[in-house]
């Protein structure tokens, strides 16, 4: 904060790192240009938010070490910073350290440059099309200008966003992915920043589906929110999910510091985070319809089509023209330049302090009569409980049927005891719980996390999925098709392709060399009979371990484990 140390070689090296991050994260990723460049450039007309945070290769090449030093001199100052300390500390000692290390820092005489651009209200709907290389499946975006973080309508829009896209019972997933089967992925987000915001919905189309179908469905869901009140069940589900998410955001010391810092940066009020849950709980169905009618109108909408470039449709150039409210000329002069001293002349690293006793939760264990080993690590504090069932089965057991273990795990959440996937998703999400299943090379995991008061119901649902999955033929087909679409996307990214090549180079034809999720050739050959047989042979108590952690006693865990898995 007080003394930036950077020389030309460090500057050049760091610039090369950022340029490579841009190439990999923006240019090489199939949808990197869409979400990093084109969406913000289209959504914002005047505000600097329309520029990508990482800039461009041209921006980075034009930057100088003097620009960096002047930027630091301008914005890295005590009156433009918050210091947040969370965890186990002695207040008096901390105060002394703050006085010692931060007290001598002074603010420059010149005020901070003013950045107060007001984003204009749209004058009508807009539709744009972008083309990019390496787009395996078309994508569409339907978006509207939103609100600032401190806007009173943000709470209602947050709940609206939850109803629209949180979980597999959400409106977008149910309509586009499950019922219509036109998208392989869909979601929405509420981007509420200090000075402006956006409401963004999108869909990545399934193989063979058109962008027009995706935009039509996104528009239909926005119209439903405007025209009809959401149901009481949807409202309760969204609130429960958001409250549970707020609890999870406070699980660790770092989490709590981040929540506090986010509130301070966006509102200037350290107590704002504590009022967040109450504001969400106060939202009504009428509030949802009111903000939908105000913000999600056709006249305010922007529709984006994102398509693969070809000879007839060349790559769309990144071109973001914006009148910046702060220019290089507005930055403070460099002032004192700090140089890195030779190592022998540097301030020595402080000696290690006294050892701190590490207290970890005591783990108690017991075994059910059927042989299932259970472990309990109690951690009171937040009213949350997690359970994880680990099974000694993974892709290394697939044999010639690559992807079978991953497909089996993915199908566990898609129907059990005669209940369809949307019904299960709704039950889980009504509880504010997170439930999922995954498979790696050696192990498969089924996990659930839920508020303490509803954890027994969540564990019952998890156990039913493990013990009584339906593996309905249409669900097997749907999951397999989604996996194939996912492969089309991942195989268009350099990272996953390099990972596949590395696996074969290291392990050859051994099981660890096979792709965990299967291949475009293996997935179509996987049948329901394969899945049923794999589950029956591998998902057994003697190959599993059940772990509880959080706000739960060993007695409670014993009772719940016996009821669910005994």
Neighbouring residues of 344: CB distance < 8 A, sequence distance ≥ 6: none
- Average predicted confidence (pLDDT) for the chain: 94
Query: Is 301 in the same domain as 334?
Result: no
Same domain, 337 and 190: no
Report yes or no on 356 lying in a domain.
Answer: no
Residues 6+ apart with CB under 8 A from 314: 131
Is 348 within the bounds of a domain? no
Q: Is residue 3 part of a domain?
A: no
- Whether 314 maps to a domain, the answer reads no
Percent of the chain with pLDDT over 90: 84
Q: Same domain for 70 and 172? A: no
Model confidence at 330, pLDDT cuts 50, 70, 90, reads confident
Per-residue confidence band for 163, with pLDDT thresholds at 50, 70 and 90: very high
pLDDT at 324 over 80: no
- Domain of residue 258, CATH code: 3.30.830.10
Distance spanning both ends of the chain, measured CA to CA: 58
pLDDT given at position 181: 96
CA atoms within 13 A on the CB side of 351: 3
Task: Based on DSSP, count helices (H) and strands (E) in the chain, helices before strands.
Answer: 20, 13
Residue in 468, 475, 473 with CA at minimum distance from that of residue 414: 475
Q: Give the distance from CA 492 to its chain's centroid.
A: 21
pLDDT at 493: 86
Distance of CA 485 to the CA centre of its chain: 20
**pLDDT value of residue 320:** 63
pLDDT of residue 49: 92
Q: Report how far Cα 244 is from the mean position of its chain's Cα atoms.
A: 16
Q: Determine phi and psi for 487, rounding to 5 degrees.
A: -65, -40
Q: What is the pLDDT of residues 444-456, one digit of tens each?
A: 999 999 999 999 9
Residues 439 and 538 occupy one common structural domain? yes
Identify the pLDDT of residue 454: 97
Q: Are residues 132 and 93 in the same domain?
A: no
Q: Give the CA distances from residue 448 to residues 386, 466, 556, in Å, rounded to whole numbers and listed in that order.
A: 6, 12, 16
Within-domain flag for 444:
yes
Average pLDDT over every residue of 149-161: 97
Give kind and range of the element (H or E) at residue 529: helix 528-538
Q: How far is CA 326 from the centre of its chain?
A: 31
How many percent of the chain have pLDDT more than 70?
99
Mean pLDDT of 60-83: 95
pLDDT tens by residue, 287-302: 999 999 999 999 999 9
Question: Does residue 255 surpass a pLDDT of 70?
Answer: yes
Q: Does residue 319 lie within any of the structural domains?
A: no
pLDDT (0 to 100) of residue 335: 82
Q: Tell whether the model's pLDDT for residue 141 goes beyond 70.
A: yes
Residue 318 has pLDDT above 80, yes or no: no
pLDDT at 322 over 80: no
pLDDT at 114: 86
Among residues 488, 514, 518, the alpha carbon closest in space to that of 407 is found at 518
Lowest mean pLDDT among 102-116, 368-382, 398-412: 102-116
The per-residue pLDDT for 537 is 96
Instruction: Give the sign of the dihedral formed by CA 176, CA 179, CA 180, CA 183.
Output: positive
Residue 496 has pLDDT above 70, yes or no: yes
| Domain-embedded: residue 353 | no
Assess whether 204 and 275 both reside in one domain.
Answer: yes
**Residues 249/259, Cβ–Cβ less than 8 Å:** yes
Query: Which range marks the domain in which residue 35 is found?
Result: 8-115+325-343
Q: Which residue has the tokens 């429960």?
A: 240
Structure tokens belonging to residue 424: 């299960």
pLDDT of res. 162:
98
Q: Which two tokens stand for residue 10?
A: 């460090």
Six-digit token string for 323:
């009148």
pLDDT value at residue 492: 87
In terms of domains, do 402 and 544 share one?
A: yes
Residue 145 pLDDT level (bands cut at 50, 70, 90): very high
Angle at 344 between CA 341 and CA 346, to 5 degrees: 50
What is the Cα–Cα distance from 130 to 305, expressed in whole angstroms?
6
Q: Which of 54-63, 111-120, 262-271, 299-308 has the highest average model confidence (pLDDT)?
A: 299-308
Q: How many separate domains does the chain show?
A: 3
Q: Which two tokens stand for residue 290?
A: 């009111």
Contact between 164 and 221 (Cβ < 8 Å): yes
One domain for residues 274 and 382: no
Same domain, 137 and 92: no
Q: What is the pLDDT of residues 530-549, one digit of tens each?
A: 999 999 999 999 999 999 99
86 CB burial (10 A radius; 0-12, 13-18, 19+):
middle
95 with 151, same domain: the answer is: no
**Mind listing the pLDDT tens digit for each residue in 194-239?**
999 999 999 999 999 999 999 999 999 999 999 999 999 999 999 9
Residue 120 within a domain: no
The reported pLDDT for the residue numbered 83 is 96
Longest Cα pair distance anywhere in the chain, in angstroms? 75
Predicted structure pTM score: 0.90
Q: What sign for the dihedral angle of Cα 259, 264, 265, 266?
A: positive
Q: Where are the alpha helices (DSSP H) in 191-299?
A: 211-227, 232-248, 253-267, 272-281, 285-295
Tokens found for residue 37: 């460049």
Instruction: Please report the pLDDT score of residue 67 as a whole number.
Output: 95
Both structure tokens of 208:
């063979």
- How far from the centroid of its chain's Cα atoms is residue 56's Cα? 24
* pLDDT greater at residue 46 or residue 564: 564
Higher-confidence residue: 1 or 188?
188
Domain co-membership, 131 together with 261: yes
Whether residue 334 sits in one domain with residue 260: no
């Amino acid at each position: 904060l007080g003394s930036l140390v950077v020389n030309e070689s460090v500057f050049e090296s760091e610039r090369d790192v950022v340029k490579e991050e841009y190439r990999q994260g923006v240019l090489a990723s199939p949808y990197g240009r869409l979400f990093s460049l084109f969406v913000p450039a289209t959504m914002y007309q005047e505000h600097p938010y329309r520029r990508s945070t990482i800039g461009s290769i041209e921006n980075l090449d034009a930057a100088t070490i003097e620009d960096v030093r002047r930027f630091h001199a301008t914005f890295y100052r005590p009156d433009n910073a918050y210091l947040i300390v969370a965890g186990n500390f002695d207040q008096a000692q901390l105060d002394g350290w703050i006085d010692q290390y931060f007290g001598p820092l002074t603010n420059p005489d010149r005020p901070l440059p003013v950045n107060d651009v007001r984003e204009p209200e749209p004058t009508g709907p807009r539709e744009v099309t972008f083309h990019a290389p390496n787009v395996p499946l078309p994508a569409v975006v339907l978006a509207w200008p939103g609100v600032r973080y401190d806007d009173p309508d943000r709470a209602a829009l947050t709940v609206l966003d939850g109803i629209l896209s949180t979980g597999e019972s959400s409106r977008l997933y149910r309509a586009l992915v499950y019922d219509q089967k036109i998208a392989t992925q869909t979601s929405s987000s509420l981007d509420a920043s200090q000075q402006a915001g956006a409401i963004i919905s999108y869909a990545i189309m399934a193989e063979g589906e058109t962008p027009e179908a995706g935009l039509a469905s996104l528009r239909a869901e926005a119209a439903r929110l405007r025209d009809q009140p959401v149901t009481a069940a949807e409202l309760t589900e969204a609130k429960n999910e958001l409250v549970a998410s707020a609890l999870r955001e406070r699980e660790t010391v770092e989490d709590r510091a981040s929540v506090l810092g986010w509130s301070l940066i966006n509102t200037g009020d350290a107590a704002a985070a504590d009022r967040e849950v109450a504001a969400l709980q106060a939202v009504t169905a009428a509030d949802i319809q009111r903000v939908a009618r105000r913000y999600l109108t056709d006249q305010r909408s922007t529709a984006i089509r994102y398509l693969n470039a070809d000879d007839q449709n060349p790559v769309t150039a990144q071109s973001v023209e914006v009148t910046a409210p702060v220019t290089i000329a507005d930055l403070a002069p460099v002032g004192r330049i700090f140089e890195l001293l030779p190592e022998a002349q540097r301030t020595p690293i402080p000696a290690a302090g006294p050892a701190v006793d590490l207290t970890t939760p005591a783990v108690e264990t017991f075994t059910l009569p059927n042989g299932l080993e259970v472990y309990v690590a109690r951690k009171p504090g937040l009213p949350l409980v997690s359970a994880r069932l680990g099974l000694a089965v993974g892709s290394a057991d697939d044999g010639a049927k690559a992807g079978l273990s991953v497909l089996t795990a993915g199908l566990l959440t898609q129907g059990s005891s005669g209940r369809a996937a949307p019904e299960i998703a709704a039950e889980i999400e009504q509880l504010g719980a997170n439930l999922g299943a995954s498979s790696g090379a050696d192990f498969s995991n089924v996990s659930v996390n839920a508020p303490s008061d509803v954890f027994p119901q969540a564990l019952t649902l998890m156990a039913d999925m493990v013990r009584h999955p339906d593996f309905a033929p249409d669900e097997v087909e749907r999951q397999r098709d989604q996996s194939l679409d996912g492969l089309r996307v991942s195989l268009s990214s350099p990272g996953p392709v390099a990972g596949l090549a590395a696996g074969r180079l290291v392990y050859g034809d051994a099981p660890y060399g096979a792709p965990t999720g299967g291949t475009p050739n293996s997935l179509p050959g996987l049948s329901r009979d394969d899945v049923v047989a794999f589950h029956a042979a591998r998902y057994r108590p003697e190959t599993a371990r059940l772990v509880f952690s959080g706000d739960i006693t060993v007695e409670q865990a014993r009772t719940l484990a016996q009821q669910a898995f005994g």
